C-alpha cells in the first residue's frame, strides 16, 4: 500500500454534501482505503474570484493504484458528482479532487505532477493538509506546517 493525500473541494450545489460524499467514494475506489479525513473548511475562491466560497478538505488514503490509475478514479468520482471539465481553470465546480502527494513518488508528465506543484500557494489545501500531516516534507516545496505558516489564511474558516 502507498500512502497518498487527496484534496477535495466544491462550491456548487450542496458543496458540503459533495465533499462528504467524495470521502465515501474514495473509500470505495478499488484497492484503496480511506484512513483519515480532515475537517471541512469554508474558503474564499482562488483564481477566479467572482464565484461562491468553497468547502475544502484533505483525505489520507492507502492505495495500491498507480498514480495515473488513482487520478482516473478521482476523475470518475468527479464525473459522478456532475463535474464537467470544459477547460476553464479555477472556476466553480460541483467537485474537484486532486492528488497532492503519494509516498515515494515524484512524477511530472502531461497528466499529473507529484507532489502537486501549487500546494505551497494554497491555504485552502494547506489548512486541512496540516491537520493530517504537518511534518510531511514535500519534495521541492518543504514541510507542510512551514508552508502553511507562509501563506495568508484570512477568510478561511474551519467548520464544525
Is position 93 annotated as part of the catalytic site?
Answer: yes
CB atoms within 10 A of CB 91: 15
Give the long-range contacts of residues 139-146, CB within 8 A, separation 24 or more: 139/106, 139/115, 140/115, 141/115, 144/119
Which residue among 37, 93, 143, 146 is the active-site one? 93
HSE-CB for 58 with a 13 A CA cutoff:
22
Is position 37 annotated as part of the catalytic site?
Answer: no
Is position 109 annotated as part of the catalytic site?
Answer: no
Is position 83 annotated as part of the catalytic site?
Answer: yes
Which residue among 83, 86, 109, 122 is the active-site one? 83
Which residue among 98, 103, 109, 111 is the active-site one? 98
Which residue among 37, 60, 96, 122 is the active-site one? 96
Catalytic residues: 83, 93, 96, 98
Amino acid at each position: 500500500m502507498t500512502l497518498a493525500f487527496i484534496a477535495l473541494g466544491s462550491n456548487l450545489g450542496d458543496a458540503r454534501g459533495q465533499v462528504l460524499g467524495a470521502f465515501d467514494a474514495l473509500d470505495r475506489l478499488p484497492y484503496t482505503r480511506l484512513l483519515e479525513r480532515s475537517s471541512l473548511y469554508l474558503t474564499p475562491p482562488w483564481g477566479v474570484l467572482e464565484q461562491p466560497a468553497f468547502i475544502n478538505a484533505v483525505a489520507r488514503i492507502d492505495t495500491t493504484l498507480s498514480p495515473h490509475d488513482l487520478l482516473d478514479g478521482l476523475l470518475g468520482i468527479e464525473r459522478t458528482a456532475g463535474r464537467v471539465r470544459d477547460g476553464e481553470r479555477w472556476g466553480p465546480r460541483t467537485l474537484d479532487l486532486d492528488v497532492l502527494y503519494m509516498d515515494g513518488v515524484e512524477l511530472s508528465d502531461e497528466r499529473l505532477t507529484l507532489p502537486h506543484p501549487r500546494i505551497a500557494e494554497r491555504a485552502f489545501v494547506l489548512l486541512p493538509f496540516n491537520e493530517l500531516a504537518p511534518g510531511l516534507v514535500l519534495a521541492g516545496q518543504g514541510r507542510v506546517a512551514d508552508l502553511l505558516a507562509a501563506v495568508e489564511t484570512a477568510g478561511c474558516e474551519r467548520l464544525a
